[in-house]
Structure 1
Amino acid sequence: MDRWYRIDNTGKIFHAVSSATNSSVFRVSMIMKGTVDPGHLQAALDVVAVRFPTLTVRVRKGLFWDFMEHNDEQLLVKPETDHPCSPIDRKENNAYLIRVLYFEKRISVEIFHSLTDGGGAMEFLKTLVYQYLRESGEDVATDGLILDPEDAPDPEEMEDSFERHATSSVMKRPARRAEKAYQIKGEAFEPPGINVIHGVVDGADLNAFAKQQGTSLTGFLTSVLIEAIHEERMRRDMTDGTVSIALPISLRRQFPSVTLRNFFSVANIRVPVDGYMNLDDIIREVTGQLISHTDKGALQESINRFVSLQSSWLVRAMPVLVKYPIMRIGFNQYGERSKTMTFSNLGNIQMPDAIKPHVDRMEVILYPTRKSPINCAFGTLNGNLTISFARSIEENDIIRAFFRSLAKITGLDVQVYSNEWGELQ
Structure 2
Amino acid sequence: MSQWYRIDNTGKIFHAVSSSSNSAVFRVSMVLTEMIDPVILQDALDVVATRFPSLMLRVRKGLFWDFLEQNDAILEVKKETDYPCAPIERQENNAYLIRVLYFNNRISVEVFHSLTDGGGAEAFIKTLTYQYLKLKGNELTPDESIMLPSEEPLDEEVEDSFVRYATDSRLKGLSAKDPKSYQILGTPLSPRGINLVQGQMASKALNTYAKSRGTSLTGLLTSVLIQTIFQQRHGINESEIVTVAIPVSLRKAFPSRTIRNFFSVSNISVRVTEETSMDDIIKEVTDQLIQKTEKSYLQEGIDRFFSFQKNPFLRIVPVFIKYPIMRFAFNWAGESRKTLTLTNLGNVKLPDSMRPYVKYMDIVLYPTKKSPINCGVATVNDTFTITFARAIEENDLIKEFFKNISHMTGLKVTVQSNEWGE
Band the TM-score falls in, shorter-chain normalisation: over 0.9
**Count of aligned positions:** 421
Q: Distance in 2 between matches of 1:213 and 1:159?
A: 40
Aligned partners of 1:178 and 1:333 also within 8 Å:
no
Q: Distance in 2 between matches of 1:186 and 1:304?
A: 36
Q: Residues 363-415 of structure 1: CA distance to partner in whole angstroms, max 9, x if unpaired?
A: 11000000000000101011101000000000001101100000000001110
Deviating 4+ runs (over 4 angstroms): 169-174
Moved more, 177-186 or 109-118: 177-186
Structure 1 residues without counterparts, runs of 5 or longer: none
Q: Distance in 1 between matches of 2:173 and 2:270?
A: 22
Shift of 1:141: 2.5
Shift of 1:179: 1.8
Match for residue 239 of structure 1 among 230, 237, 240:
237
AA of the residue aligned to 2:237: T
Q: Residues 66-103 of structure 1: CA distance to partner in whole angstroms, max 9, x if unpaired?
A: 11111110000000000000000101100000000000
Moved more, 133-142 or 361-370: 133-142
Determine the structure 1 residue equivalent to 2:82. 82
Determine the structure 2 residue equivalent to 1:328. 327
Shift of 1:314: 1.9
Determine the structure 2 residue equivalent to 1:360. 359
1:237-386 alignment runs, 5 A limit: 237=235, 239-240=237-238, 241-386=240-385
Q: Distance in 2 between matches of 1:84 and 1:421?
A: 10
Shift of 1:238: 6.4
Shift of 1:177: 4.8
Determine the structure 2 residue equivalent to 1:72. 72
Shift of 1:176: 3.4
Q: Distance in 2 between matches of 1:31 and 1:294?
A: 31
Q: Residues 193-221 of structure 1: CA distance to partner in whole angstroms, max 9, x if unpaired?
A: 10000000011110110000001110011
Q: Residues 327-377 of structure 1: CA distance to partner in whole angstroms, max 9, x if unpaired?
A: 000000000000000001111000001100000000110000000000001
Moved more, 108-117 or 305-314: 305-314
Measured at CA, do residues 238 and 71 of structure 1 come closer, stay the same or move farther in structure 2, by a change above 3 Å?
Answer: closer
Determine the structure 1 residue equivalent to 2:42. 42
Shift of 1:171: 4.8
Q: Distance in 2 between matches of 1:145 and 1:347?
A: 14
Structure 2 residues without counterparts, runs of 5 or longer: none
Q: Distance in 2 between matches of 1:323 and 1:174?
A: 14
Aligned partners of 2:335 and 2:370 also within 8 Å:
yes
TM-score by length of 1: 0.97
Percent identical among aligned pairs is 58
**Partner SS, residue 281 of structure 1:** helix
Shift of 1:142: 1.8
TM-score by length of 2: 0.98
**Partner SS, residue 273 of structure 1:** coil
Q: Distance in 2 between matches of 1:226 and 1:169?
A: 35
Aligned partners of 1:177 and 1:333 also within 8 Å:
no
Aligned partners of 2:193 and 2:421 also within 8 Å:
no
Shift of 1:309: 1.8
Give the aligned CA root-mean-square deviation in angstroms: 1.4
Q: Residues 122-153 of structure 1: CA distance to partner in whole angstroms, max 9, x if unpaired?
A: 00000000000011111112212100001110
Determine the structure 2 residue equivalent to 1:217. 217
